[in-house]
Amino acid sequence: VALIGRDCSTQRRFQKIFEEGPPTIAAKEDFREAEKAAQRLAMSVGYRGAGTVEYLYKPEGKGFYFLELNPRLQVEHPVTEGITGV
């Protein structure tokens, strides 16, 4: 299950300044494709549980590129919980 995305674009010295969700920079179709890719990745490695898949998004070309899979809850996870009610 993919719950929702978060936009962490605003950073300083590689640290997130704030996070928002759902992301507004990505078209809904592009974002849905990223969610599906995250689900396929988790299934392909047999991962079960909460985690975060991170992508870089390129709005000009409407592409997203895998960055990392964090097989744990991150400090930002309350943003997801607050939006989805999970």
Show which residues are catalytic.
Answer: 72
Q: What share of the chain is helix, strand, coil (3-state, %, to 5)?
A: 30, 25, 45
Structure tokens at 58: 């390129």
Q: Which helix (H) or strand (E) holds 29?
A: helix 28-44
